[in-house]
Amino acid sequence: MRPLGAFLLVLLALGLGFGWTARRRWGPLSGVRPWLLALGLAPAHAVALGIAGALMGVDGGPLVAFAGATLALVLAAAAAVAWLLRDRPRWSSLVLPAHAVAQGMVTALLAGPFAAVGADPPTAGSPAVLAIALFLAAAWWVWLPGRRGRAARAPRTRSGRLRS
């Protein structure tokens, strides 16, 4: 467990360094394209698993359920990102590792159908998706803009009460 923890700390440090460098060079991260790329990792992994499972002869029912669960997770993550980007943009970066962990749990449910056809359970891709999500979350924590400013208030005036 210690080497894994050290590896995750290194990923977080590298992500923070990359985010800091990118923010200084290109300014705060904005737009939809980076989110489409980041949230597209898990569906790409799911498509690869679905194709591999179909080629190995895994029953279609679990693969269709896996595809549906993956689609539901992506939609939930996109909704969470959209909600968080309105008021707390930096906190939206934490959606990426949460989505990767949830996708890993859904992927683990395919172990039974894969074992039924004599194949190894699909465990290789989920840690890679989580590692990429941790790196991006650390980078985007720094790279995303901070909290939006509140509406300007009227300038402060004296209350009329003077100190004695």
Digit-coded pLDDT (tens) for 31-44: 778 888 888 888 88
**pLDDT, position 27:** 87
At 163 the three-state DSSP class reads: coil
Per-residue pLDDT of 96-134, as tens digits, reads 999 999 998 999 888 888 888 888 888 777 888 889 999
How far apart CA 106 and CA 100 sit, in angstroms, is 10
- Mean pLDDT, rounded, of the chain: 86
Q: What number is the average pLDDT over the span 136-145?
A: 89
pLDDT computed for residue 147 by the predictor: 64
Q: Which two tokens stand for residue 49?
A: 């698993």
Nearest to 17 by CA among 9, 83, 129, 158: 9
- CA 110, 112, 114: angle at the middle one, nearest 5? 70
Q: Is the pLDDT of residue 16 over 60?
A: yes
Q: Give CA–CA dist 64/45, Å, rounded.
A: 14
Does the pLDDT at position 79 exceed 90? yes
Q: Taking the complete model, does pTM exceed 0.85, yes or no?
A: no
pLDDT score at 43: 87
Q: 158 falls in which pLDDT band (50, 70, 90)?
A: low
Identify the CA nearest to 133 among candidates 90, 106, 94, 84: 94
